[in-house]
Structure 1
Amino acid sequence: MMNEAAEFSQYNGPLEVGLRALAVLTEDYPSAYSLQRLVILDYLIVHSDDLNFGPVGLHPQTPHRSGELLVRRAALEKGLLLYQSKGLIERKFMENGVLYSATEKSGSFMDVLNAGYSLKLRDRAGWLVDRFKEQSDQALSELVRKEAGDWGAEFEMAPALKKGLEL
Protein backbone atom coordinates (compact mmCIF):
# COMPACT_ATOMS: atom_id res chain seq x y z
CA MET A 1 0.00 0.00 0.00
CA MET A 2 1.44 3.34 -1.08
CA ASN A 3 1.55 6.13 1.48
CA GLU A 4 0.30 9.64 0.69
CA ALA A 5 3.81 11.19 0.60
CA ALA A 6 5.01 8.61 -1.93
CA GLU A 7 1.92 9.20 -4.05
CA PHE A 8 2.47 12.98 -3.95
CA SER A 9 6.11 12.67 -5.01
CA GLN A 10 5.06 10.39 -7.84
CA TYR A 11 3.38 13.33 -9.58
CA ASN A 12 5.53 16.14 -8.25
CA GLY A 13 9.04 14.77 -8.57
CA PRO A 14 11.61 16.36 -10.87
CA LEU A 15 10.73 14.14 -13.86
CA GLU A 16 7.03 15.04 -13.79
CA VAL A 17 7.40 18.70 -12.80
CA GLY A 18 10.08 19.13 -15.45
CA LEU A 19 7.80 17.55 -18.05
CA ARG A 20 5.00 19.97 -17.17
CA ALA A 21 7.43 22.89 -17.54
CA LEU A 22 8.63 21.45 -20.85
CA ALA A 23 5.02 21.30 -22.07
CA VAL A 24 4.51 25.00 -21.26
CA LEU A 25 7.83 26.04 -22.77
CA THR A 26 7.15 24.01 -25.90
CA GLU A 27 3.76 25.67 -26.34
CA ASP A 28 5.40 29.10 -26.22
CA TYR A 29 8.62 28.27 -28.09
CA PRO A 30 10.93 30.19 -28.49
CA SER A 31 9.86 32.38 -25.52
CA ALA A 32 11.86 32.05 -22.31
CA TYR A 33 10.39 32.00 -18.79
CA SER A 34 11.79 32.71 -15.34
CA LEU A 35 11.83 30.05 -12.66
CA GLN A 36 9.26 32.01 -10.65
CA ARG A 37 6.86 32.05 -13.61
CA LEU A 38 7.34 28.32 -14.19
CA VAL A 39 6.61 27.55 -10.51
CA ILE A 40 3.31 29.41 -10.72
CA LEU A 41 2.39 27.94 -14.09
CA ASP A 42 3.19 24.45 -12.85
CA TYR A 43 0.70 24.90 -10.04
CA LEU A 44 -1.89 26.31 -12.45
CA ILE A 45 -1.40 23.56 -15.03
CA VAL A 46 -2.18 20.97 -12.35
CA HIS A 47 -4.94 22.92 -10.60
CA SER A 48 -6.37 24.99 -13.47
CA ASP A 49 -9.82 24.66 -11.93
CA ASP A 50 -8.68 26.78 -8.97
CA LEU A 51 -9.28 29.70 -11.30
CA ASN A 52 -12.92 30.63 -11.92
CA PHE A 53 -12.32 30.57 -15.66
CA GLY A 54 -10.03 27.53 -15.83
CA PRO A 55 -10.62 24.07 -17.29
CA VAL A 56 -10.85 20.96 -15.12
CA GLY A 57 -7.55 20.42 -13.31
CA LEU A 58 -5.17 17.59 -14.14
CA HIS A 59 -5.05 16.59 -10.46
CA PRO A 60 -7.88 16.50 -7.91
CA GLN A 61 -8.60 19.42 -5.62
CA THR A 62 -7.11 18.27 -2.35
CA PRO A 63 -6.95 20.12 0.97
CA HIS A 64 -3.82 22.21 1.49
CA ARG A 65 -2.93 22.09 -2.20
CA SER A 66 -1.80 25.71 -2.22
CA GLY A 67 1.08 24.63 0.00
CA GLU A 68 2.48 22.96 -3.10
CA LEU A 69 3.63 26.40 -4.22
CA LEU A 70 6.07 26.49 -1.33
CA VAL A 71 7.74 23.15 -2.12
CA ARG A 72 7.55 23.03 -5.90
CA ARG A 73 10.60 25.16 -6.69
CA ALA A 74 13.32 22.61 -5.77
CA ALA A 75 11.70 19.81 -7.78
CA LEU A 76 11.23 22.16 -10.72
CA GLU A 77 14.88 23.24 -10.68
CA LYS A 78 15.97 19.59 -10.74
CA GLY A 79 13.47 18.80 -13.49
CA LEU A 80 14.65 21.69 -15.64
CA LEU A 81 18.25 20.49 -15.28
CA LEU A 82 17.20 16.95 -16.17
CA TYR A 83 15.48 18.04 -19.39
CA GLN A 84 18.31 20.46 -20.14
CA SER A 85 20.77 17.55 -19.94
CA LYS A 86 18.72 15.82 -22.65
CA GLY A 87 18.78 18.88 -24.92
CA LEU A 88 15.06 19.63 -24.50
CA ILE A 89 15.35 22.79 -22.37
CA GLU A 90 17.82 25.60 -22.72
CA ARG A 91 18.96 27.81 -19.84
CA LYS A 92 19.65 31.39 -20.87
CA PHE A 93 21.59 33.90 -18.82
CA MET A 94 19.99 37.28 -19.49
CA GLU A 95 20.33 40.75 -17.98
CA ASN A 96 17.09 40.21 -16.04
CA GLY A 97 18.12 36.78 -14.71
CA VAL A 98 18.16 33.15 -15.71
CA LEU A 99 15.42 32.15 -18.14
CA TYR A 100 14.39 28.80 -19.56
CA SER A 101 13.10 27.93 -23.01
CA ALA A 102 12.30 24.88 -25.06
CA THR A 103 14.68 23.82 -27.84
CA GLU A 104 14.07 22.81 -31.44
CA LYS A 105 13.90 19.18 -30.25
CA SER A 106 11.17 19.80 -27.66
CA GLY A 107 8.19 19.75 -30.00
CA SER A 108 9.19 16.41 -31.51
CA PHE A 109 9.67 14.92 -28.06
CA MET A 110 6.27 16.16 -26.88
CA ASP A 111 4.64 14.84 -30.08
CA VAL A 112 5.56 11.25 -29.23
CA LEU A 113 3.85 11.44 -25.83
CA ASN A 114 0.32 10.31 -26.59
CA ALA A 115 -0.99 8.90 -23.32
CA GLY A 116 -4.20 10.46 -22.02
CA TYR A 117 -2.44 12.43 -19.29
CA SER A 118 0.13 13.78 -21.76
CA LEU A 119 -2.59 14.97 -24.13
CA LYS A 120 -4.43 16.70 -21.29
CA LEU A 121 -1.13 18.21 -20.16
CA ARG A 122 -0.49 19.69 -23.60
CA ASP A 123 -4.05 21.01 -23.73
CA ARG A 124 -3.64 22.75 -20.35
CA ALA A 125 -0.22 24.09 -21.38
CA GLY A 126 -1.76 25.65 -24.48
CA TRP A 127 -4.55 27.16 -22.38
CA LEU A 128 -2.05 28.61 -19.88
CA VAL A 129 0.10 30.16 -22.58
CA ASP A 130 -2.94 31.67 -24.31
CA ARG A 131 -4.38 32.99 -21.04
CA PHE A 132 -1.24 34.31 -19.33
CA LYS A 133 1.29 35.03 -22.10
CA GLU A 134 0.79 38.79 -21.86
CA GLN A 135 0.89 38.90 -18.04
CA SER A 136 4.17 39.73 -16.36
CA ASP A 137 5.79 37.54 -13.72
CA GLN A 138 4.77 40.19 -11.20
CA ALA A 139 1.12 40.04 -12.29
CA LEU A 140 1.13 36.24 -11.96
CA SER A 141 2.69 36.50 -8.49
CA GLU A 142 0.03 39.01 -7.52
CA LEU A 143 -2.68 36.62 -8.71
CA VAL A 144 -1.24 33.96 -6.40
CA ARG A 145 -1.00 36.34 -3.47
CA LYS A 146 -4.63 37.38 -3.91
CA GLU A 147 -6.07 33.94 -4.59
CA ALA A 148 -3.89 31.50 -2.65
CA GLY A 149 -6.01 31.74 0.49
CA ASP A 150 -9.05 30.63 -1.47
CA TRP A 151 -7.34 27.67 -3.14
CA GLY A 152 -7.85 24.78 -0.79
CA ALA A 153 -9.49 26.90 1.87
CA GLU A 154 -7.49 25.12 4.55
CA PHE A 155 -4.25 26.71 3.33
CA GLU A 156 -2.60 27.98 6.50
CA MET A 157 0.43 29.66 4.89
CA ALA A 158 -1.57 32.27 2.93
CA PRO A 159 -0.47 35.08 5.28
CA ALA A 160 3.19 34.27 4.49
CA LEU A 161 2.52 34.48 0.76
CA LYS A 162 0.52 37.66 1.10
CA LYS A 163 3.38 39.29 3.03
CA GLY A 164 5.62 38.82 0.01
CA LEU A 165 7.26 35.43 0.45
CA GLU A 166 9.12 34.88 -2.80
CA LEU A 167 8.01 31.80 -4.69
Structure 2
Amino acid sequence: MQISEKLDYEQPSKYIVSETEYLNNKEFTPVLTANKAFILGYTDEPFNIYDKGECIILDDFTLDCKLVNFAFKVKSSAIKILTSKNNIILRYVYEYLNFLNLETTEHKRHYISEIEPMLIAYPDSNESVISFCDLMDKFDKKIENENKYLQSLLSQKQYLLSNMFI
Protein backbone atom coordinates (compact mmCIF):
# COMPACT_ATOMS: atom_id res chain seq x y z
CA MET A 1 0.00 0.00 0.00
CA GLN A 2 1.02 3.59 -0.53
CA ILE A 3 1.83 5.83 2.39
CA SER A 4 -1.07 8.05 1.31
CA GLU A 5 -3.39 5.16 2.19
CA LYS A 6 -1.95 5.02 5.72
CA LEU A 7 -1.48 8.70 6.58
CA ASP A 8 -3.44 11.92 6.41
CA TYR A 9 -1.53 15.17 6.33
CA GLU A 10 -2.38 18.62 7.51
CA GLN A 11 -0.78 21.92 6.59
CA PRO A 12 0.48 23.59 9.78
CA SER A 13 -0.50 27.16 8.88
CA LYS A 14 -2.84 27.70 11.81
CA TYR A 15 -0.28 26.26 14.29
CA ILE A 16 2.61 28.55 13.32
CA VAL A 17 3.88 30.59 16.22
CA SER A 18 3.65 34.34 15.67
CA GLU A 19 6.44 35.29 18.09
CA THR A 20 10.02 34.59 17.04
CA GLU A 21 11.43 35.12 20.53
CA TYR A 22 11.01 31.83 22.35
CA LEU A 23 10.83 31.30 26.10
CA ASN A 24 12.90 28.81 28.10
CA ASN A 25 9.99 27.94 30.41
CA LYS A 26 8.87 24.33 29.87
CA GLU A 27 5.49 25.15 31.41
CA PHE A 28 4.50 26.79 28.12
CA THR A 29 3.78 25.26 24.70
CA PRO A 30 6.81 23.87 22.84
CA VAL A 31 7.64 25.27 19.40
CA LEU A 32 8.84 22.44 17.18
CA THR A 33 10.90 21.85 14.09
CA ALA A 34 11.54 18.43 12.56
CA ASN A 35 15.31 18.78 12.43
CA LYS A 36 17.88 17.96 15.12
CA ALA A 37 16.94 20.95 17.28
CA PHE A 38 13.34 19.60 17.58
CA ILE A 39 12.20 21.92 20.40
CA LEU A 40 13.25 25.45 19.51
CA GLY A 41 11.82 26.93 22.69
CA TYR A 42 8.44 27.63 24.24
CA THR A 43 5.62 30.08 23.64
CA ASP A 44 2.92 31.50 25.85
CA GLU A 45 0.55 32.00 22.90
CA PRO A 46 -2.68 30.37 24.10
CA PHE A 47 -4.29 30.00 20.66
CA ASN A 48 -4.03 27.61 17.69
CA ILE A 49 -2.12 24.89 19.52
CA TYR A 50 -1.98 21.45 17.87
CA ASP A 51 -3.46 19.14 20.50
CA LYS A 52 -5.12 16.41 18.43
CA GLY A 53 -2.90 13.60 19.73
CA GLU A 54 -0.02 11.63 18.28
CA CYS A 55 1.40 12.71 14.93
CA ILE A 56 4.55 12.74 12.86
CA ILE A 57 5.97 16.11 11.95
CA LEU A 58 7.92 16.01 8.70
CA ASP A 59 10.00 18.83 7.31
CA ASP A 60 8.89 18.97 3.68
CA PHE A 61 12.24 20.41 2.57
CA THR A 62 14.79 18.35 4.56
CA LEU A 63 12.67 15.20 5.08
CA ASP A 64 13.58 15.09 8.79
CA CYS A 65 10.77 13.72 10.91
CA LYS A 66 9.81 13.34 14.56
CA LEU A 67 7.09 11.40 16.36
CA VAL A 68 5.15 13.75 18.66
CA ASN A 69 2.60 12.91 21.33
CA PHE A 70 2.12 16.26 23.08
CA ALA A 71 0.57 19.64 22.27
CA PHE A 72 2.76 22.03 20.27
CA LYS A 73 3.11 24.89 17.83
CA VAL A 74 5.48 24.95 14.85
CA LYS A 75 8.01 27.41 13.48
CA SER A 76 7.22 27.23 9.76
CA SER A 77 4.87 26.08 7.05
CA ALA A 78 7.52 23.64 5.78
CA ILE A 79 6.25 21.11 8.33
CA LYS A 80 3.67 18.50 7.36
CA ILE A 81 1.62 17.11 10.22
CA LEU A 82 0.97 13.43 9.51
CA THR A 83 -1.70 11.42 11.32
CA SER A 84 -2.95 7.87 11.23
CA LYS A 85 -5.59 6.79 8.76
CA ASN A 86 -7.72 3.72 9.50
CA ASN A 87 -6.23 3.24 12.97
CA ILE A 88 -2.78 2.22 11.78
CA ILE A 89 -0.07 2.45 14.41
CA LEU A 90 1.79 5.66 13.70
CA ARG A 91 4.99 4.59 15.46
CA TYR A 92 5.46 1.84 12.85
CA VAL A 93 5.25 4.30 9.94
CA TYR A 94 7.59 6.69 11.77
CA GLU A 95 10.19 3.93 12.19
CA TYR A 96 9.75 2.98 8.54
CA LEU A 97 10.36 6.56 7.38
CA ASN A 98 13.47 6.78 9.56
CA PHE A 99 14.69 3.42 8.28
CA LEU A 100 14.58 4.79 4.73
CA ASN A 101 17.13 7.50 5.66
CA LEU A 102 15.33 9.97 3.45
CA GLU A 103 17.70 12.64 2.19
CA THR A 104 17.54 15.36 -0.40
CA THR A 105 19.81 17.86 -2.06
CA GLU A 106 16.97 19.84 -3.60
CA HIS A 107 15.20 22.67 -1.79
CA LYS A 108 11.64 21.81 -2.72
CA ARG A 109 8.56 20.30 -1.16
CA HIS A 110 8.75 16.51 -1.28
CA TYR A 111 5.88 14.98 0.67
CA ILE A 112 3.03 14.97 -1.85
CA SER A 113 5.12 14.16 -4.91
CA GLU A 114 7.63 11.69 -3.45
CA ILE A 115 6.67 10.38 0.01
CA GLU A 116 2.90 9.88 -0.30
CA PRO A 117 3.18 7.58 -3.36
CA MET A 118 5.86 5.40 -1.72
CA LEU A 119 4.92 1.82 -0.95
CA ILE A 120 5.02 0.65 2.64
CA ALA A 121 4.82 -2.91 3.89
CA TYR A 122 2.36 -2.81 6.76
CA PRO A 123 1.63 -6.19 8.42
CA ASP A 124 -1.92 -7.50 8.34
CA SER A 125 -1.77 -8.22 12.06
CA ASN A 126 -1.64 -5.32 14.48
CA GLU A 127 -0.19 -7.77 17.04
CA SER A 128 3.10 -7.94 15.16
CA VAL A 129 3.11 -4.16 14.72
CA ILE A 130 2.51 -3.66 18.46
CA SER A 131 5.30 -6.14 19.30
CA PHE A 132 7.66 -4.31 16.96
CA CYS A 133 6.78 -0.92 18.45
CA ASP A 134 7.24 -2.24 21.99
CA LEU A 135 10.69 -3.46 21.02
CA MET A 136 11.55 -0.05 19.50
CA ASP A 137 10.40 1.61 22.76
CA LYS A 138 12.79 -0.62 24.71
CA PHE A 139 15.66 0.22 22.40
CA ASP A 140 14.90 3.94 22.69
CA LYS A 141 14.84 3.71 26.49
CA LYS A 142 18.14 1.81 26.50
CA ILE A 143 19.75 4.38 24.19
CA GLU A 144 18.45 7.21 26.40
CA ASN A 145 19.90 5.55 29.52
CA GLU A 146 23.24 4.89 27.83
CA ASN A 147 23.42 8.52 26.67
CA LYS A 148 22.81 9.69 30.26
CA TYR A 149 25.56 7.35 31.42
CA LEU A 150 27.90 8.69 28.72
CA GLN A 151 27.19 12.28 29.80
CA SER A 152 27.88 11.31 33.41
CA LEU A 153 31.23 9.77 32.46
CA LEU A 154 32.17 12.81 30.38
CA SER A 155 31.34 15.09 33.33
CA GLN A 156 33.45 12.95 35.66
CA LYS A 157 36.33 13.01 33.22
CA GLN A 158 36.10 16.79 32.90
CA TYR A 159 36.05 17.14 36.68
CA LEU A 160 39.14 14.97 37.03
CA LEU A 161 40.95 16.83 34.25
CA SER A 162 40.13 20.22 35.73
CA ASN A 163 41.41 19.11 39.17
CA MET A 164 44.50 17.50 37.69
CA PHE A 165 45.66 20.54 35.75
CA ILE A 166 44.97 23.30 38.26
TM-score exceeds 0.5: no
The structure where strand makes up a greater share of residues is 2
Between structure 1 and structure 2, the one with the greater Rg is: 2
The structure where helix makes up a greater share of residues is 1
Q: Normalised by the shorter chain, which TM-score bucket? A: under 0.3
TM-score of the superposition, structure 2-length normalised? 0.28
TM-score of the superposition, structure 1-length normalised? 0.27
Task: Work out which structure has the larger RCO, using CA pairs closer than 8 Å and 6 or more positions apart in sequence.
Answer: 1
